[in-house]
Each structure stands twice: as structure tokens, then as C-alpha cells.
């Protein structure tokens, strides 16, 4: 099974993800810059009009496209334009280590310097049985994330999480048995015609004919976490075992609202068994027993390239933790539930602005904070 990819050394994109079409943008996705779109169109039509092109050989098409596209990718002017694409921003977030250095403006308190960090690594993966529509894997993964400030007592998001997970993953294969018919219009292949309505409609028709059947799809994984939660001083800690389910949705049909604007929702739900240390706020209130907890997170990513013609990405996340059958002691001091809402705006150069309200585990009171930071990747 082969994928069509952007050969920039650090990520690949399957065919429908690279060319998510709409009546407005033709063969190109809402996340593409014009330079990226021109390169994709040029390569696509060169391959399907080659005299040696065989429409029944999907793998051959992928090989030819990758070879032609790679020569364009290596050009410096193309790489510069690529870095302005929201699609690349989404892939950069998948790099193992990323950090955001920021200033945190706290309500009724002094501003503090902080760093958000996130590290993930797949320890081992096994490919399971794969059918025509789904790729299935089993893996062991490691993850570490949290927030640190110059002084631990000033940390408004005082939670560091570490986990080793055993999980099963499912994703669509994006395979095709053959390439459909394509109508070539030499006039539309000129760079100045990239915004022409007729040519965009022709590109869209060609793409849908070439790769029928790609539409909305789910990416899912589920399994077990063996985790550790701590405050910045590592005095208040929780050991936990969780069963979790994660699902992310992406619509490759550009005739729908979610597909056209490249809106991507995701949800994570877990059931946790938590063993707190004696230094946790809950234990210090008088209950240090183990307990069950339901945790959930919903996130939404909305690129603004198509909506507002700016290469920014709007994000929203909602995190919730709810203790199951909490004792009266825990309920009285309001430590049985935690909620955190975050709105963020990300720019292609790494600048991040966000507003959040609420608290995470180990937090005693809700806080409203505004953050201005810069994200970098390692």
C-alpha cells in the first residue's frame, strides 16, 4: 500500500489529505498556499497526461507523483511557501518534542514566565491485519507534557503528566484500485488561472473522478494508560491506570462545511483509577483514598486561510475531570471536579495567543489567564 506524500523529510500526506477539494478552491485544500497549490496541480496533470500513464496502476501513479513532486519540494522558494501553510503547522505538531515559551498574565496576580512542553515517542509498533479500507496497528507509546514556571507556587496550570500506553489504532487506508478519467485544459494549467472559477470547477471534477469515494473519515485508537501526574515540585502526585478511547474526524469532501474549511474535531475519553499521595489537595483536605475518575478532552482546529484569507489557525479545547462517587469531604472543598477551557490563535511563525479559564487537577481555585508565547520544535 502506497501513499502520496510531501517529501520534506518529516511528514507524509495521503492523497485525499493533500488535495482536499471544493467548488471554491478546486483541486487544492483550504490549508494550501498558492505556491503549494500550483506545484500540486502541475505534478498531478503531468503524471496523468504522461504517455506511459496506466490508470489501472495506482501504485505506479503514486511512485510517479512522488518522484515529480520531490524535485519541486527541494527548491528553496517552495520550502519557504510551505512553512506558511496551516497544513504544515498541523504536521509540525506531530513532531516528538515541542515547547512553547510564553508570558502568562494571571488575573489578580503578577505575570509569570512559563514553558509548555510536550514529548511523545512510539516505543514499539506491530502492524495487524489490514483490509482494503482500514490500517490497524498495536503499539506501546510514551508521552510527557506539562507546564513549568520560574517559581512553582506561581504556576496556574500546575500539572505534569507522564504515561506509557498500550493502544490499538485504526486509520483509513486511502487506497484506490485505479485512477479515473481526467479532462485536461491547457489554459487552466497556467499559473495565472489558479483563481479562475471555471478552472477550479474543472480541477475539482477531475480530482473527484480520479479518486472517488474519499469523504469524511474517523481516526481512532483505544487502549490502556499507566500514568503519573505531579505538580511542578513533584510533591503532590497521582498514580493512575486508565482505559481510554480517542477519535478524530476529518472530512475530505470539500462540498461540506467541515470539509471546505478543514475543521477537525477530536475527543478523548478515559476511565481512571487514581492513587493520590499525601501531598495532594484532596488528601490534605482529609481523604487520601484511591478513587475512580472520568476524564475527557474535546478539541477543535479551524484554519482561517479559507474563512478570512489569513494563515492562522483557531483552536479550542475543553478538558474535564470528574471523580466518581466522591466523598462529602471532597465535595465540600470542591475538589471532585475540574474544568479548563482554552481558546488559542496560532500563527505560521510559531506565535501563540491564548485565553483559558478554569483549573486542572492539583488546582484549588479557578483562574482566568491570557498567554502570549512562541512555539518551537525539536
Do both 158 and 192 map to the same domain?
no
Do both 125 and 152 map to the same domain?
yes
Res 188 pLDDT > 90: no
pLDDT on residue 44? 77
Contact 297/267 with Cβ under 8 angstroms?
Answer: yes
Do both 140 and 225 map to the same domain?
yes
Say which residue the cell 499525601 belongs to: 278
Distance, CA of 59 to chain centre: 27
Name the average pLDDT for the chain: 79
pLDDT in tens, 12-29: 344 433 433 333 345 565
Say which residue the cell 465540600 belongs to: 332
Q: How many domains does the chain have?
A: 2
Do both 226 and 341 map to the same domain?
yes
Do both 302 and 204 map to the same domain?
no
What is the rounded distance in angstroms from the CA atom of residue 303 to the CA atom of residue 33? 12
Structure-block grid coordinates of residue 191: 499559473
pLDDT on residue 215? 65
Do both 220 and 75 map to the same domain?
no
- CATH number of the domain that 352 lies in? 2.40.160.40
Do both 342 and 196 map to the same domain?
no
Do both 193 and 241 map to the same domain?
no
Res 172 pLDDT > 80: no
Where does the pLDDT of residue 199 fall: very low under 50, low under 70, confident under 90, or very high at 90 and above? confident
pLDDT on residue 69? 74
pLDDT in tens, 113-171: 999 999 999 999 998 876 666 789 999 999 999 999 988 888 888 889 999 999 999 98
Q: Which residue has the higher pLDDT, 192 or 330?
A: 330
How many beta carbons lie within 10 A of that of residue 311, not counting itself? 20
pLDDT in tens, 312-338: 889 999 999 999 999 999 999 999 999
Do both 227 and 327 map to the same domain?
yes
Q: Which domain holds residue 50?
A: 1-30+34-83+184-210
Where does the pLDDT of residue 297 fall: very low under 50, low under 70, confident under 90, or very high at 90 and above? very high
pTM of the model: 0.73
Do both 275 and 359 map to the same domain?
yes
Do both 140 and 68 map to the same domain?
no
pLDDT in tens, 47-70: 877 778 777 777 777 778 777 777
Do both 15 and 153 map to the same domain?
no
In order, the DSSP letters of 5-16 are: ---SSS----HH
Amino acid at each position: 500500500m502506497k501513499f502520496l506524500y510531501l517529501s520534506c523529510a518529516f511528514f507524509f500526506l495521503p492523497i485525499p489529505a493533500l488535495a482536499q477539494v471544493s467548488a471554491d478552491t478546486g483541486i487544492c485544500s483550504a490549508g494550501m498556499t498558492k505556491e503549494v497549490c500550483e506545484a500540486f496541480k502541475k505534478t498531478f496533470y503531468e503524471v496523468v497526461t504522461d504517455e506511459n500513464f496506466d490508470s489501472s496502476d495506482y501504485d505506479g501513479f503514486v511512485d510517479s507523483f512522488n518522484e515529480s513532486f520531490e524535485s519541486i519540494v527541494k527548491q528553496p522558494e517552495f520550502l519557504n511557501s510551505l512553512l506558511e501553510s496551516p497544513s504544515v503547522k498541523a504536521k509540525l505538531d506531530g513532531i516528538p518534542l515541542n515547547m512553547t515559551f510564553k508570558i502568562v498574565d494571571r488575573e489578580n496576580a503578577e505575570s509569570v514566565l512559563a514553558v509548555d512542553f510536550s514529548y511523545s515517542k512510539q516505543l514499539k509498533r506491530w502492524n495487524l491485519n489490514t483490509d482494503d479500507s482500514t490500517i490497524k496497528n498495536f503499539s506501546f507509546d510514551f508521552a510527557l507534557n506539562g507546564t513549568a514556571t520560574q517559581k512553582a507556587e506561581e504556576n496556574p496550570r500546575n500539572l505534569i503528566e507522564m504515561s506509557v500506553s498500550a493502544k490499538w489504532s485504526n486509520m483509513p487506508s486511502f487506497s484506490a484500485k485505479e485512477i479515473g478519467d481526467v479532462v485536461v485544459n491547457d489554459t487552466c494549467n497556467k499559473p495565472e488561472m489558479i483563481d479562475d472559477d471555471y478552472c477550479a470547477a474543472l480541477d475539482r471534477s477531475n480530482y473527484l473522478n480520479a479518486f472517488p469515494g474519499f469523504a469524511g473519515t474517523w481516526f481512532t485508537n483505544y487502549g490502556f494508560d499507566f500514568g503519573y501526574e505531579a505538580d511542578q515540585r513533584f510533591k503532590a502526585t497521582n498514580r493512575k491506570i486508565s482505559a481510554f478511547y480517542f477519535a478524530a474526524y476529518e472530512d475530505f469532501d470539500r462540498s461540506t462545511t467541515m470539509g471546505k474549511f478543514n475543521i477537525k474535531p477530536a475527543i478523548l475519553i478515559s476511565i481512571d483509577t487514581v492513587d493520590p499521595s499525601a501531598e495532594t489537595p484532596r488528601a490534605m483536605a482529609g481523604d487520601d483514598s484511591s478513587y475512580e475518575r472520568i476524564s475527557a478532552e474535546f478539541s477543535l482546529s479551524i484554519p482561517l486561510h479559507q474563512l478570512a484569507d489569513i494563515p492562522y489557525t483557531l483552536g479550542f479545547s475543553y478538558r474535564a475531570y470528574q471523580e466518581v462517587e466522591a466523598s462529602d469531604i471532597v465535595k465540600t472543598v470542591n475538589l471532585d471536579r475540574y474544568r479548563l477551557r482554552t481558546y488559542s490563535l496560532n500563527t505560521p511563525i510559531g506565535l501563540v495567543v491564548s485565553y483559558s479559564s478554569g483549573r486542572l487537577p492539583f488546582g484549588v481555585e479557578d483562574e482566568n489567564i491570557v498567554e502570549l508565547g512562541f512555539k518551537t520544535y525539536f
